[in-house]
Structure 1
Amino acid sequence: MDSAILHFISPPIPHFVDCGYACYEVGDSHITRNCIRVFDLIVVRKGMLPIGENGRSWEIKEGEGFILLPDGHHYGSAPCTTDTEIIWIHFQTFGSWQMGTDMNQCMGNQMELIEEHKRLAYLNHADVCSIFIPKHMKLSPKALEVLETFFEQEHEPQSLRNWKRQASFQLFLQHLDRDLASPSNETSIQLADRIELFIRQNYASDITNSVLQKNMNYHPNYLAKVMLKVYGMTPMTYLQYYRLEQSKRLLLQTPWSIARIADEVGFHHVSHYSTCFSKKEGLSPSDFRRKFAKAR
């Protein structure tokens, strides 16, 4: 179904807060609330729930899920016309997220959101990835099966129950993220992940489009198209991005010279490294080290 897409960056992965059941008889409506400060995932197990948010209305049918936003105005858009049962899950995230109209918009904004997330979550040189969750979704049988496990630990000690629910929630999000991909998107994601893994494992070596073509067995133009679709940048752009990220680790964690760090991450000329670094970070490698590693 057509739906807006919620785009999260992790780590940290969006975390489970609370969950429960609710029942509505004919004529009942969903409660009216404003800015509840958590995401509210509603899954209809039976019947149909009319729901409204910020002036828009939806009908959530049996087997469907819907995510209400933490900063929105939520209400029942109409009374229930049949007895309805729902599961609700509250969750939250630390860092950056946004909602796009479709996957193309999410992909176009991906790198900007990642950079914002790194600043907000203090992950200056960590590897992060995107999680895409539809706002309105038809749940797969596997996702529904995982959902039921949230309530299987009611007799467990609280600490153990919370650990298990968080693990179940992460598995549930993984199903939602993967179920969103069409067969063609899934193929693109798998190839893009292969390219990204190859770059991560060999970034200090000489990687060219020809090298990627030989190892991936696809034309460089197709590899670039796939990486643009999934990561928002070509393989060569991602290679430079990853090298610079690794150099930031070394600037903060080692006393090595700038020249040695440039060589360690795959730049043959320290001047080229410094130019690329300054263009991306807005300060030189030396200034970056002085700013963020003063104790050293």
Structure 2
Amino acid sequence: MIQMALIEMTIPPFPHYITSGFNTIPKNAKHPSRSHIEVFDLLITTSGCLFLAEEEQRFEVAPGQALILRPDCYHFATQVCAEDTSTYWMHFHAGGHWNMVDNTLPALPLEDPSPVFIKPFSVEPFTIRIPQYTTLLQPEKTYELFEQLHQLQPRAHVSGARFAQQQLFHELMLQLSVSATKEQLSPSLACAEKAASYLRQHYRETVSAKALGDHVNFHPVYIARCMQREYGCSPTEYLLRLRIQQAKLLLLQTDLPVAHVGEEVGFEQPAYFATCFTRLEGISPRKYRQRFARD
């Protein structure tokens, strides 16, 4: 088994998202070879398997696994894909200082342990550790973050959209960082994740508690408890927030009428869509579009 190396970054400055996409490598083809591309290259496989190497280190990236290729190394395919292999990919900058550390080493304190006087409101740097190669704890949530980034891409020239991209990227970095702990999903989190995955796949439809319970194979009351514990909201509220999030993306990247946007994300009544949007965002859908989707 490959010993997991960690990419340790000092923050601030924060890592910076550049671009991302989704790619399918056909059977008997392979990932291109590259050398010293000066940006990190994150790959997350959804089907098939990638066979890659970075200098002397070999990796097999199976579905639900992530690999970050370093900006200062040569990486290449060790063999062709045995089947069609689909991956999300992303390029990003570390932003500031970074280095590779062993997973067995504790994080070093950034500050001198001796007493010091700190100026009020001073910026205190900290470190994050991201596994270079890992199995995702919540793959469906990670895929959803990539999908949201992809939907924002056509409007990347708009300041509001670029800011939203950075927010999604930082959430994705957090997901990767959490997976470095190698903790197994608790029964509660496993139930909540499966329910959330179902809701993300069916948010445009009418979702009943019975349908959710049948899919997750737990009683709706237990599902609600798990989602409240893990996500801080009920399945109904989670679905509502998801629909509003998708509506925000459509408002940013399309010229669809506001009522049509509501229908696209699962609201049957335009008035109810406007009420829910305003309650969660503090601004109407129309004003949100005017404020953030302006060219």
The normalised TM-score by structure 2 is 0.54
In structure 1, distance between residues paired with 2:80 and 2:182: 34
In structure 1, distance between residues paired with 2:167 and 2:173: 10
Alignment of 1:281-296 (within 5 A): none
- Picking from 113, 127, 134, the partner of 1:137 is 134
In structure 2, distance between residues paired with 1:12 and 1:146: 22
Amino acid at match of 1:147: F
In structure 2, distance between residues paired with 1:67 and 1:29: 17
Percentage of identical aligned residues:
25
* Post-superposition CA distance 1:39-64 (Å, at most 9, x none): 00001121111111102211100111
SS of the residue aligned with 2:83? Answer: coil
* Post-superposition CA distance 1:103-160 (Å, at most 9, x none): x3252xx236x79xxxxxxxxx630111111111112133332222111224435223
In structure 2, distance between residues paired with 1:157 and 1:16: 11
In structure 2, distance between residues paired with 1:27 and 1:183: 35
- What is residue 87 of structure 2 aligned with on the other side? 86
- What is residue 65 of structure 1 aligned with on the other side? 66
* Post-superposition CA distance 1:262-284 (Å, at most 9, x none): xxxxxxxxxxxxxxxxxxxxxxx
The answer for unaligned runs of 5 or more in structure 2 is 113-121, 185-295
- Does the 8 Å contact 2:131/2:179 carry over to 1? no
* Post-superposition CA distance 1:74-97 (Å, at most 9, x none): 111111001011111001123211
- What is residue 36 of structure 1 aligned with on the other side? 37
- What is residue 6 of structure 2 aligned with on the other side? 5
Amino acid at match of 2:109: M
User: Does 136-145 or 21-30 show the bigger shift?
Assistant: 136-145
In structure 2, distance between residues paired with 1:23 and 1:127: 42
* Post-superposition CA distance 1:234-258 (Å, at most 9, x none): xxxxxxxxxxxxxxxxxxxxxxxxx
In structure 2, distance between residues paired with 1:143 and 1:23: 18
- What is residue 109 of structure 2 aligned with on the other side? 111
Amino acid at match of 1:35: H
Amino acid at match of 1:137: T
- What is residue 19 of structure 2 aligned with on the other side? 18
SS of the residue aligned with 1:152? Answer: helix
- Does the 8 Å contact 1:100/1:106 carry over to 2? no
- What is residue 155 of structure 2 aligned with on the other side? 156
- Does the 8 Å contact 1:8/1:130 carry over to 2? yes
- Does the 8 Å contact 1:7/1:106 carry over to 2? no
In structure 1, distance between residues paired with 2:62 and 2:182: 22
How far 1:72 sits from its partner (Å)?
A: 0.6
How far 1:166 sits from its partner (Å)?
A: 1.0
Cα distance change of structure 1 residues 157 and 32 upon mapping to structure 2, 3 Å threshold = closer
User: Does 13-22 or 1-10 show the bigger shift?
Assistant: 1-10
SS of the residue aligned with 2:53? Answer: strand
How far 1:101 sits from its partner (Å)?
A: 2.1
In structure 1, distance between residues paired with 2:84 and 2:6: 29
Amino acid at match of 2:69: L
The answer for unaligned runs of 5 or more in structure 1 is 116-124, 185-296
Cα distance change of structure 1 residues 183 and 50 upon mapping to structure 2, 3 Å threshold = closer
- What is residue 198 of structure 2 aligned with on the other side? none
- What is residue 126 of structure 1 aligned with on the other side? 123
The normalised TM-score by structure 1 is 0.53
Rg larger for:
1
- Does the 8 Å contact 2:134/2:179 carry over to 1? no
Amino acid at match of 2:142: A
Alignment of 1:152-191 (within 5 A): 152-156=151-155, 158-159=157-158, 160-181=160-181
